Amino acid sequence: MGYSAGTMSAMNLKAKTKAELLKMAQRLGLRGISTMTKPKLVDTIGRAKQRRTTTFRKQAAIAVQKVATAIKRRAMRKPAKKVATAKAKTTVKKPTKVVSKKATAVAVAAATRQAAHKFDVAPVKKALKQIFKEENLGELPETYGTGRLFLAARDPHWLFAYWDFSHEQMAGFRRQASDGRMVLRVFEKNHATPVAELTLAHDARNWYLPANKAATSYSAELGFWRHDGSFNVVSRSREATTPPDALSVDTTAQFATIPVDVNFDELLTIVRHYLNDGEQLAEGLQRLQATGFQFPFRVDVELGPWSKEQAAQVEHILSGDVLQRVQVGSVELTEWLRRRLQGETSSGMFSGFSPSGSSWAGAPQKGFWFAVNAELIIYGATEPDAKVTVDGKSIALRTDGTFSFHWTFPDGKYRLPVVAASGKNGETRSVELQFERKTETHDDVGKVNQPAHLQPPITK
């Protein structure tokens, strides 16, 4: 397997670092060297040098042979040339040309330089370098004006809607609308009544929509209300299905540790004799690792569920990361936080927590306007098997023991008793929350109508 190079040359290569070997391999024009181990690099570079030396020797031998042949031919032609010259001297006497010493010295120097490089091998041409030339392709358009509405499921409880209309198209629709506004409606599959109807801002191009049901198909339509009370649809989306929020029943997935510091050829050589017929490399690695096969690299495969300490640590790390990303203004994470705070146990698919999902009351159709309202969200956490009541109403807990509930919040004083009872021994914990809202408006200010299914807290 080794190359027939001198012992000193091989020792010199082995004494070099891997970085130095990589540079030598690059100068030799070798390819595929980034994944080679150091012994493989030493062997490859040695072979390349051996090939280059052999090629040089062959070329030198050919050059020497050519020179010898040329000298032999000249020696054979020399007598004939002398006879022809003697005949010429008897017939025509030419004047003798005097050559200066300077011209002779120049000719000798040129011949010496030519002889010194007679056996030089032509230099290897360097690989051409790619030159990047920037091409100005112009700016991408803000919209293509295709008039299409798209709906996609972001996760089990969130949808994303996007519509491709130009500003001129949207302005034309708003001029036809009775209230000068566009509306986005969302439908659950096989239901004629929309589960949500959102009044859009003038500059809105997309929207995130909370979905109360996982593994459910939804569709959306974009349009406006006519003056005769009918709804004009300008575009309908295809169906989008939210993924399930439960663990998959498919347990056939298999996991294998593939070391990144071992190249593919070496890894295949290690397990080649242990693979079954038709078995892929990853499948064979998983099977061998499960049976305790001793590999020359670290496996570290964790089996079984996480402990409570591991789960708590992961949740702590992710929560900190989420909060940091929310602080920098991530729209998606802000919506995720809203979903955690919303009353998911309340009836209906969408809550009125986001002003985008509410209808505007008291707002003029033209000119400057302003509308404000407030809602109340109670949230907390306890043991997953406990029972929680808020204002005497039983609240369903999430799998992690968290809960939330949503109320309207008109002016007045309110109290909300919250009670938790242990599912093991009936032990209880309780708290009473008291709130007061007092609204003062100045000038012409309207209200945001809150969802009809929400109820106010009890009055104190």
Give the pLDDT of residue 55.
79
Hey, which of 95-99, 130-134, 218-222, 258-262 has the most confident mean pLDDT?
218-222
The total of other beta-carbon atoms located within 10 Å of residue 124's CB is 10
Q: Residue 97's pLDDT band (boundaries 50, 70, 90)?
A: low
208-247 pLDDT, tens digit each: 988 888 999 999 999 999 999 899 999 999 999 999 988 7
Please write down the long-range contacts of 315-321, taking CB distance under 8 Å and 24 or more positions apart. none
Distance from C-alpha of 351 to C-alpha of 335, rounded to nearest angstrom: 13
Please provide the distance, in angstroms rounded to a whole number, between the alpha carbons at the two ends of the chain: 91
Reply yes or no on whether the pLDDT at 368 is more than 50.
yes
SS3 of residue 184 by DSSP: strand
Mean pLDDT of 53-77: 77
Lowest mean pLDDT segment, chosen from 9-13, 177-181, 451-455:
451-455
Q: Any alpha helices (H) in 127-176, and if so which ranges?
A: 167-176
Q: Tell me which of 3 and 58 has the higher pLDDT.
A: 58
Q: Residue 343 pLDDT more than 80?
A: no
Q: Higher confidence at residue 185 or residue 212?
A: 185
Q: Which of 110-119, 175-184, 398-407 has the lowest mean pLDDT?
A: 110-119
Reported as a pLDDT band with limits 50, 70 and 90, residue 328 is very low
Average of per-residue pLDDT values in the chain: 76
DSSP letters for 51-74? HHHHHHHHHHHHHHHHHHHHHHHH
CA dist., res. 74 & res. 68, Å (int): 10
Q: Work out the pLDDT band at 391, boundaries 50, 70, 90.
A: confident
Highest mean pLDDT among 6-10, 162-166, 207-211, 393-397: 162-166
The pLDDT tens digits of the residues spanning 242-268 come to 999 887 777 777 777 777 777 778 888
Q: Which of 143-157, 309-323, 367-381 has the lowest mean pLDDT?
A: 309-323
Comparing 92-96, 123-127, 342-346, 422-426, which segment has the lowest mean pLDDT?
342-346
- Region of 292 (left: φ > 0; alpha: ψ -120 to 50; beta: rest) is left
59-73, 155-169, 272-286, 421-435 — which one is most confidently predicted on average? 155-169
Characterize the bridge pairing of strands 231-236 and 217-225.
antiparallel
* More confident call, 143 vs 366: 143
Banded pLDDT at 326 (limits 50, 70, 90): very low
Residues of the chain with pLDDT > 90, as a percent, come to 19
Residue 271 in contact with residue 281, Cβ under 8 Å?
A: yes
CB distance 254 to 281 below 8 Å: no
Mean pLDDT, range 131-147, rounded to an integer? 82
- Model pLDDT, residue 235: 96
Are 43 and 2 in contact, with CB atoms under 8 Å apart?
yes
Please tell me the predicted confidence (pLDDT) of residue 4. 46
d(CA 414, CA 200): 33
- For 170-303, strand residue ranges (E) read 183-188, 196-199, 206-210, 217-225, 231-236, 240-241
pLDDT reading at 8 higher than 50: no
More confident residue, 247 or 177: 177
Question: What pLDDT does 58 receive?
Answer: 80
Q: How far apart are CA 396 and CA 399, in angstroms?
A: 10
How far apart CA 286 and CA 156 sit, in angstroms, is 31
Distance CA 30, CA 52 (A): 12
**Residue 140 scores a pLDDT above 70:** yes
Q: What is the mean pLDDT of residues 264-286?
A: 82
How far is Cα 236 from Cα 191, in angstroms, rounded to an integer?
15
Lowest mean pLDDT segment, chosen from 74-83, 108-117, 228-237, 271-280: 74-83
Distance CA 62, CA 85 (A): 34
Separation of alpha carbons 413 and 422, rounded Å: 30
Nearest to residue 406, comparing CAs of 356, 362, 446, 351?
351
pLDDT at 241: 95
3-state helix, strand and coil shares in percent for the chain, rounded to the nearest 5: 35, 20, 45
Where b means 16+ CB within 10 Å and e means fewer, 61-98 reads: eeeeeeeeeeeeeeeeeeeeeeeeeeeeeeeeeeeeee
Sheet holding 158-164, edge to edge: 148-155, 158-164, 206-210
What pLDDT does residue 352 have?
Answer: 36
Q: With cut-offs at 50, 70 and 90, classify the pLDDT of residue 324.
A: very low
pTM over 0.85: no
Asked whether 341 and 377 are in contact (CB, 8 A), the reply is yes
- Tell me the one-letter amino acid at 78: K
pLDDT bracket for residue 89 (50, 70, 90): low
Residue pair 416/435 in contact (Cβ under 8 Å)? The answer is yes
| Stretch among 151-160, 352-361, 446-455 having the lowest mean pLDDT | 352-361
- Give per-residue pLDDT as tens, 333-342: 445 555 554 4
Using CA atoms, how far apart are residues 404 and 374, in angstroms rounded to an integer?
17
**Cα gap 24→19, rounded to integer Å:** 9
**Looking at 308-322, 422-436, 439-453, which range is the least confident one?**
308-322
Q: Exposed/middle/buried for 29, CB within 10 Å: 0-12, 13-18, 19+?
A: exposed
Q: Please report the domains of the chain, with CATH numbers, ordered by start residue.
A: 7-116 (no CATH), 148-241 (2.60.40.10), 342-459 (no CATH)
Q: In whole angstroms, how large is the CA radius of gyration of the chain?
A: 43
- Over residues 343-355, the mean pLDDT reads 37
Mean pLDDT, rounded, for 150-179: 93
Q: Are the C-beta atoms of 61 and 18 separated by less than 8 Å?
A: no
2 pLDDT band, cuts 50/70/90, is very low
